[in-house]
């Protein structure tokens, strides 16, 4: 006999009861023990997850029907409780077990990745072009205005990243993509035709808003249309195409030495992928998840059929309905992010982004051509293109190793390598070393783009890269002490590790065993 009971406040609620077949019978599950984690929600206590040691129940999670059927029970005191502890394969519709997809999401993922390419291109295009556009626009001797040309895009991206998610929820993913193409195309056109620095800054600002929206929208759309079995593989494709966009921008600068006016073409050619993005999204299916959340069930089924084939409609709709069971909780406020329950998660995420920026990667992306020229490298633009190629190569390596080596070990290794690289860069310059003080700021990317040239002129390039090396070393220490490894761990396990409140909930866990 297997008994599954919820204990809370001294009371027991029987969720389900099942007699286990003997371990000697064919196909039997045999004796097993399950752990149920308790969590407290608006309706009281409910099962947070059920795991079995039996092979046929491995991976079955509370609230996500998979190989086991989900049963829904009600308690007058504790509200709804979902139990997925035991079920037979025959409880699942046969089409869920046998259906194979006849559709393909890859063409639509490719269209979305145009947004990622534009993201990287607009970040990197100013690298080789800055010297030449500065001469044409009369700001060659003004490092501050040159910094504004670089960093205005980042200011626009900040605005776009905050508004992108809201627009996507209200208008839908594909319509937001089409809308996003407007600032991307207009910004590129204004930058290419600018006759003064004011027009250039406006163009860069609009392009920044566009890439900010893309930064929120591309990974969201890809994750929502990707089948579960390849979602992990496609999860890092956004970053890969950003790096490809940066590489494309650096390669596009190669003709500058022979044609100083080429910088206008460099900005102008990004209008083409912006238009292709809008046209591609006009014929791409909307996210089935968004359509389902809007109550547009027929449209959601049509999108699923287009993405995965008609064989998958029943299965995907089943999953959407199941995942929608727990989506009625009120949204958390911004202030909740700073509560004890979530602070460690938020602080680790923010710190990793801060270390990434202060490690100097975007200083390399924006100014590597000038840096290589200062180091005496004749073919500075070509050297910058090699940096872009190394960036793409590193991203591909990280994507392939992420699930094998773990995220934490890769972070420590990469920051250690960057620390050594930045130290070598600082030693490769002969200028007098002076103390470098770079304030840490939440808009670090913006300020690096704005003040990098001014800081280099004042303190020297060697000191700047020595500072970047120090930040990388600090990042290694921070990651080793604060970042938890996520390799091979469920979201619930990671949550318990990071959230003190989840650890308290875990203390209410109990064992379920056959009697």
Rounded distance between C-alpha atoms, residue 48 and residue 509, angstroms: 9
Read off the pLDDT of each residue in 93-120 and give the average, rounded to a whole number.
Answer: 75
Rounded distance between C-alpha atoms, residue 274 and residue 184, angstroms: 6
Q: How far apart are the first and last CA of the chain?
A: 5
Express as a percent the part of the chain with pLDDT over 70.
43
**pLDDT over 70 (residue 300):** yes
**pLDDT over 90 (residue 499):** no
Scanning 253-339, the segments in alpha helix (DSSP H) are 262-268, 271-282, 288-293, 297-308, 313-323
DSSP code of 405? Answer: H
| Phi then psi dihedrals of residue 285, to 5 deg | -70, 145
C-alpha R_g of the chain:
27
Higher-scoring residue by pLDDT: 159, 40: 159
Residue 370's alpha-carbon distances to 130, 204, 225, 257, 384, in angstroms, are: 9, 20, 41, 13, 9
Q: Is 105 helix (H, G, I), strand (E, B) or coil?
A: coil
Beta bridge partners of 174: none
**pLDDT over 60 (residue 514):** no
**pLDDT over 80 (residue 108):** yes
The structure tokens listed for 164 are 């992108």
Residue 218 near residue 280 (C-beta atoms within 8 A): no
| Phi then psi dihedrals of residue 13, to 5 deg | -120, 120
**pLDDT over 50 (residue 229):** yes
The structure tokens listed for 469 are 């090396």
pLDDT-derived band at 165 (thresholds 50, 70, 90) equals confident
The most distant pair of C-alpha atoms in the chain lies apart, rounded to whole Å, by: 86
Rounded distance between C-alpha atoms, residue 150 and residue 191, angstroms: 12
| pLDDT for residue 164 | 84
Average pLDDT along the chain? 67
The structure tokens listed for 284 are 């791409």
| pLDDT for residue 442 | 33
For residue 196, the number of C-alpha atoms closer than 13 Å in the C-beta half-sphere is 2
Residue 189's alpha-carbon distances to 67, 193, 260, in angstroms, are: 53, 6, 18
Rounded distance between C-alpha atoms, residue 213 and residue 282, angstroms: 17
Scanning 137-270, the segments in alpha helix (DSSP H) are 143-171, 173-193, 197-225, 228-235, 237-252, 262-268
What the chain holds in terms of domains, given with CATH numbers, is 2-92 (no CATH), 98-324 (1.20.1250.20), 355-489 (1.20.1250.20)
Q: pLDDT per residue over 270-299, tens digit each?
A: 999 999 999 999 999 999 999 998 999 999
| pLDDT for residue 80 | 40
Most trustworthy range by pLDDT among 34-48, 253-267, 346-360, 491-505: 253-267
Q: pLDDT per residue over 405-416, tens digit each?
A: 555 555 555 545
Residue 363 near residue 455 (C-beta atoms within 8 A): no
Residue 458's alpha-carbon distances to 32, 149, 451, 499, in angstroms, are: 69, 20, 11, 44
For residue 62, the number of C-alpha atoms closer than 13 Å in the C-beta half-sphere is 21
pLDDT-derived band at 361 (thresholds 50, 70, 90) equals low
């Amino acid at each position: 006999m297997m008994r599954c009971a919820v204990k809370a406040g001294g009371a027991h609620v029987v969720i389900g009861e099942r007699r286990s077949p003997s371990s000697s019978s064919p196909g039997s599950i045999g004796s097993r023990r399950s752990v149920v984690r308790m969590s407290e929600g608006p309706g009281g206590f409910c099962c947070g997850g059920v795991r079995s040691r039996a092979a046929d129940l491995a991976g079955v999670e509370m609230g996500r029907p998979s190989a086991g059927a989900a049963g829904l029970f009600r308690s007058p005191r504790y509200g709804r409780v979902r139990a997925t502890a035991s079920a037979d394969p025959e409880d699942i519709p046969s089409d869920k077990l046998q259906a194979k997809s006849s559709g393909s999401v890859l063409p639509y993922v490719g269209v979305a990745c145009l947004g990622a390419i534009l993201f990287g291109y607009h970040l990197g295009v100013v690298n080789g072009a800055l010297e030449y556009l500065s001469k044409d626009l009369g700001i060659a001797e003004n490092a501050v205005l040159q910094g504004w040309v670089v960093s205005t895009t980042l200011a626009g991206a900040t605005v776009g990243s905050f508004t992108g998610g809201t627009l996507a929820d209200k208008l839908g993913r594909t319509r937001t993509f089409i809308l996003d193409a407007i600032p991307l195309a207009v910004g590129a056109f204004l930058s290419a035709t600018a006759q003064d620095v004011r027009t250039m800054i406006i163009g860069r600002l609009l392009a920044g808003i566009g890439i900010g929206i893309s930064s929120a929208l591309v990974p969201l759309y890809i994750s929502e249309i990707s089948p579960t079995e390849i979602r992990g593989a496609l999860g890092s494709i956004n970053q890969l195409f950003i790096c490809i966009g940066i590489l494309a921008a650096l390669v596009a600068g190669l003709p500058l030495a022979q044609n100083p006016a080429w910088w206008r073409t460099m900005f102008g050619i990004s209008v083409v992928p912006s238009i292709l993005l809008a046209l591609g999204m006009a014929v791409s299916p909307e996210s089935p998840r968004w359509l389902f959340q809007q109550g547009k069930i027929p449209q959601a089924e049509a999108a699923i059929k287009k993405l995965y084939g008609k064989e998958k409609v029943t299965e995907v709709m089943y999953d959407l309905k199941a995942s929608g069971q727990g989506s009625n909780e009120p949204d958390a406020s911004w202030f909740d992010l700073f509560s004890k329950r979530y602070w460690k998660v938020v602080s680790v995420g923010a710190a990793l982004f801060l270390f990434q920026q202060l490690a100097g990667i975007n200083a390399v992306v924006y100014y590597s051509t000038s840096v290589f020229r200062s180091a005496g490298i004749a073919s500075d633009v070509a050297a910058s293109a090699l940096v872009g190629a190394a960036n793409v190569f590193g991203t591909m390596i990280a994507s392939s190793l992420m699930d094998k080596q773990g995220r934490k070990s890769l972070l420590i290794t990469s920051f250690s390598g960057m620390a050594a690289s930045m130290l070598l860069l600082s030693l490769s310059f002969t200028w007098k070393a002076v103390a470098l003080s770079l304030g840490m700021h939440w808009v670090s990317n913006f300020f690096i783009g704005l003040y990098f040239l001014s800081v280099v002129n004042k303190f020297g390039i060697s000191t700047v890269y020595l500072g970047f090396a120090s930040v990388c070393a600090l990042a290694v220490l921070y990651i080793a002490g604060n970042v938890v490894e996520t390799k091979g761990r469920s979201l619930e396990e990671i949550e318990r590790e990071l959230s003190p409140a989840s650890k308290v909930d875990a203390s209410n866990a109990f064992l379920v065993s056959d009697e």
